[in-house]
Each structure stands twice: as C-alpha cells, then as structure tokens.
Structure 1
Amino acid sequence: MSAELRQLRLQQKRQLVREQIRDFPDFPTTGVLFRDISPLLKDPVAFGAAIDLLEAHIKAEHPAVDCLAGLDSRGFLFGPALAQRLGVGFVMIRKKGKLPGPTVSVAYTLEYGQAQLEVQYDAVKPGQNVILIDDLLATGGTMAAACELMGKLQACILECVVLIELKSLKGAEALKAFPLYSLLQYD
C-alpha cells in the first residue's frame, strides 16, 4: 500500500472516530462542554478505528514499549484492547483503595479537592518502558500524578496517550516533562 493511500485511510478512520464523539453542553455543571465517548464505545467499527489509530502511532513511535498503564477508569476501556494488539501487558492505575495487596500511591490536587492514585508495587519493573493511556486530557492533574506514580516505580515513561485533548484547559502544560499524543484535539 502506498504511503498516500495509508495516510488517507488513517484520516478516514480519524474522521469516523471524531463523528462518534458527542457533545453535551452544561454537563456536569453550567459552562462545561462534555465530550461523550459513549457512541464510540457502542460502535464496534469506530472503536476498532480508534484502536487502529492508537496502535499505528505507538508502533511507529515506540517499538520498544513493555506495557501500557491505564488511568482509572476510562483508560481501562482503551488500554487492554490496545495492549493486546501490541502484545504487551496492561497495568491498572486506580483510585485509592481499589487494588489488593501492597501498593504505591501518590496524592494530587484536583480543581475541587485532593485525590490519590495507586498502583500495585510490582506492576512494573525498574527501567521498563511504559506508555500511559486515558480517554481524555483536561487540566492534566490526573495524568501528571500517574506519571509521578510510574516514576516512583522507576519506570521509563515513553509517552502519555489520550483519545481526546481539551486544548483550552492546557493539560499539556502539566506534562511538560513527558511527550503527549492526543488522537483528537478540541479547543
């Protein structure tokens, strides 16, 4: 397949994914425009296209990835399918109190208070190449905390990958130390 044809197919898949993102104004509060991925998850062709696009990006940019680490909870929707395609493991980064056994945790600040993320202490080995994945990047606080958590385990963070980036909320600024890839961007 020619490079031009491959690029056209990727653009078509990206458009298919974008068409399945639904907007809900004033949810969960007035002034917020919520980007809903539910239609994407209901459409196996569009969901497959999203996984295809993320897979193509990771294979092209990071052939030596050891595992994907998904953020609670919607990172769990994309991470395992993508990890299976890549032939690598999947690690869950959960909210405090959701994982059994010994864990490592990090506290971080949200717009509305404090939160904690945890990962099992043996989820990754020191030096393993990890890509973090979530559905959406807004202010970047949760993803930055997940990066800090992986740092505590001495993982090598190759990239933070999200389906949707809300550019106006400047979440990328919270991740300056780490590469970021977003499949779709919205202002």
Structure 2
Amino acid sequence: MPPSRQVKDYIRTIVDFPHEGIFFRDVTTLFSDPRGFRMAIDQMLHPYAGERIDKVVGLEARGFILGGAIAHQLSVGFVPIRKKGKLPGPTISQDYKLEYGEAVVEIHDDAIRPGEKVLIVDDLLATGGTCAAAIKLIERLKGDIVSCAFVVDLPDLGGRKVLEAMGMDVHTLCTFDGL
C-alpha cells in the first residue's frame, strides 16, 4: 500500500516564476484536487476545534478560497482584506513594505466588531508583510486575533518570526525551504 499523501504533495513548484531564481509554490493544484483541498481545510481547522471564532479573515486572493471554506465549516462570517480600491464601502487602510516598494490593503470599517474573535487565513507565509498589515487593521477595529493560519510557510523569508514578534499564534501545514 503506497504511503498516504500529505498536503505538501499536492502543491507544485514552478521554477523561475515570477523571476529567475524563485521557486513558486503553486497551491492551485491543491485547490483543484478534492481530497487535497478537503485535507487542507480540515487540517487548518483542527487546531481551533472547540475554540470560539466569530469571523474568518481571508487575505487577497487565495486566502479568500481558504477563508470562505473555513468560515463555512465553522458557520461564521467571512471578511476579505483586499488591495486598495477594491472594496465598495467605507474602509480603513494599512500600508506595508514589499520587496520593492510599498502596497496598501483595506478592510470595511464595519467588518469586525470590538471583541470579535478572528482567525486570519492565507495560502502562504513569506515575509509576513501582508499578514502584519491585516493584523494592524483588525486591531484598529478592536478585533481579538485568535491565530494566523497558512497552508505553506517559507521559513527562509522570516514571516513566522515577524508575526510571532507581534504576539501572534501561527499555524502552518507544511514548509518549503529556499526562496
């Protein structure tokens, strides 16, 4: 009997994308496989069994896919954090640093009520910049962040350390070394 597959086995690596020397970890192959996708959602939920969560926040864009599925399983609301200018209602924004330059993310100013327990979800943890900006937005709305959950951690880029230095609990399903 062949060994059972792990989440990592469903993720393909594309060499030299988007730049030479980069190993792009493509989770779309995980999402497209029903067993792999269910496995990922179940494993992302497992650490929070019995814990109160009021909202799941998904980071643009693949975090929407994971976050929507997790919110559905928990029977709670889903909140998107999007790139600047993509949300239709009143928002608050947070800028953050990218490898080259800066970017801005936004959340609706009424998406999270004070004291709500929030789980942040995304596909990949690299430098932690986007998630750190999301944390700041949620904290400005006085939400209580339970944890930050990711499918993939790229430990060489230091994102986990950034989030843990902010006092966050971080949960990941698998790691890939290198860039």
TM-score, normalised with respect to structure 2? 0.93
Determine if the alignment matches structure 1 residue 45 to structure 2 residue 8. no
Give the corresponding residue for 2:109: 121
Q: Deviations over 1:126-150 (max 9, x none)?
A: 1111010000000111110010110
Cα shift at 1:79: 0.5
Aligned-partner residue type, residue 85 of structure 2: G
Structure 1: stretches of 5+ with no match in the other structure? 1-10
Query: Secondary structure, in 3 states, of the residue corresponding to 2:114?
Result: coil
Query: Secondary structure, in 3 states, of the residue corresponding to 1:136?
Result: strand
Distance 2:6 2:149 in 1: 19
Q: Is the 8 A contact 2:7 2:173 kept in 1?
A: no
Determine if the alignment matches structure 1 residue 137 to structure 2 residue 125. yes
Matches within 5 A, 1:98-109: 98-109=86-97
Q: Deviations over 1:55-111 (max 9, x none)?
A: 222215xx1111100001110010011111011111000000000111011111111
Determine if the alignment matches structure 1 residue 174 to structure 2 residue 175. no
Cα shift at 1:16: 3.4
Q: Is the 8 A contact 2:14 2:26 kept in 1?
A: yes
Higher-helix-fraction structure: 1
The answer to which structure, 1 or 2, has the higher relative contact order (CA under 8 A, 6+ apart) is 2
Distance 1:126 1:47 in 2: 32
Identity of aligned residues (%): 45
Matches within 5 A, 1:22-171: 22-59=12-49, 63-171=51-159
Structure 2: stretches of 5+ with no match in the other structure? none
Q: How many residue pairs were aligned?
A: 173
Q: Deviations over 1:6-30 (max 9, x none)?
A: xxxxx94xx3321111011111111
Misfit runs of 4+, over 4 Å = none
Distance 2:56 2:154 in 1: 22
Moved more, 15-24 or 121-130: 15-24
Distance 2:89 2:55 in 1: 20
Distance 1:39 1:92 in 2: 22
Query: Secondary structure, in 3 states, of the residue corresponding to 1:57?
Result: helix
Cα shift at 1:54: 1.2
Aligned CA RMSD, in angstroms, stands at: 1.3
Query: Secondary structure, in 3 states, of the residue corresponding to 1:93?
Result: strand
TM-score, normalised with respect to structure 1? 0.89
Give the corresponding residue for 1:17: 7
Query: Secondary structure, in 3 states, of the residue corresponding to 1:64?
Result: coil
